[in-house]
Structure 1
Amino acid sequence: MPSMDIVSEINLEEVKNATENAVRELATRFDFRGTNASFEWKSPAVTMKGDSDAQLKQMAEMLRGQLVKRKVDAKALTLGSVESSGRNFNQVATFKEGIEQPVAKKVVKLIKDSKLKVQASIQGEQVRVTGKKRDDLQAVMQLLRETDLEQSFQFNNFKD
């Protein structure tokens, strides 16, 4: 009986590479010359420092762009609140891994409501889907790609 696991994982090495690319881009940008803007990688988070809130927004877009170039789903990126101390502004960008219980329940409910002939069960931080046909599992994949649950999903252990 075919089965697969729905997981939410990111490659932290690619995130590190994207951060390093954003640092290089920051150095070449004319509008950031002479400022204290910087990216700092501390696994599994990126700290952005700048002179203003507007700079942090631009830096977040830079980081998102670099993540997309490195094929890391930008939905995994979560921006924290902006902290300011005098003229320095900081913001921490974290990355979601694992499917939390409420999201997993939404995924299972979505699969059951689709009337596909598959069974979905929550197993820790992943969802296992089994069905009689491989096509049904591929339909579940397509369904999750089209639905916006504000989290990136990957499909592992696809077995016939």
Structure 2
Amino acid sequence: MAQDNSFDIVSKVDIQEVRNAVDQALKEINNRFDLKGSKSEIKLEGEKEIQLASADEYKLDAVKEILGQKLVKRGVSLKNLTYGKVEQALGSSVRQKITLQQGVPVEKAKDIVRIVKDSKLKVQASIQGDTVRVSGKDRDSLQSVIALLKGKDLGIDLQFTNYRTN
């Protein structure tokens, strides 16, 4: 077998850490003087969405900032969050959806494959569902690919998993 070494490039959010960050953010919102009585809330809907709601846009921005701080403290990259537009809700309140990015989107996967091919390293990159597999004979080449991709800003948080060598 010629291709002995490989690794996968994935973009996943640890949903348990998101749940913990939401709980911590809710505690802080309930204790903050400027947000008391504002009916601000954060709900985790399934494993793909977070729903924010508050009395007005100013308070919604404060809720977003608190949630962002808690997510960063828990090791969840903010690059994996996609903010929807702010919508008017009942009364004068507002709400906003945040989508959690799970997996590497097809456009980003194509960009990763192109970057790897343009690097002229002796490795192959292939898209496999929502992951990108990079394989090659030489471990150093694989590590060079990891370093190359860490240096690029693709707009999503990348993790490098299943590093296999023979």
TM-score, normalization: structure 1? 0.94
SS in 2 for 1:4: strand
Does residue 2 in structure 1 map to residue 13 in structure 2?
Answer: no
Aligned-partner residue type, residue 139 of structure 1: S
Question: Who is 1:33 aligned against?
Answer: 36
Task: Count the aligned residue pairs.
Answer: 160
The alpha carbon displacement at 1:136 in A equals: 1.5
Question: Match for 1:149 among 154, 160, 165?
Answer: 154
Structure 1 residues 64-118: Cα deviation after superposition (integer angstroms, max 9, x where no partner): 1111111111111111111103311001111011112111110000111122221
The alpha carbon displacement at 1:151 in A equals: 0.9
Counterpart Cα distance in 1 of 2:46 and 2:24? 16
Question: Match for 1:137 among 125, 142, 148?
Answer: 142
CA contact (8 A) 1:12 1:43 kept: no
Structure 1 residues 39-87: Cα deviation after superposition (integer angstroms, max 9, x where no partner): 1122222111111112222211211111111111111111111110331
SS in 1 for 2:99: strand
Question: Who is 2:51 aligned against?
Answer: 47
The alpha carbon displacement at 1:34 in A equals: 2.2
Ranges in structure 2 where 5+ consecutive residues have no aligned partner: none
SS in 1 for 2:53: strand
The alpha carbon displacement at 1:119 in A equals: 0.9
Aligned-partner residue type, residue 46 of structure 1: I
Counterpart Cα distance in 2 of 1:138 and 1:29? 46
Does residue 79 in structure 1 map to residue 77 in structure 2?
Answer: no
Question: Who is 1:24 aligned against?
Answer: 27
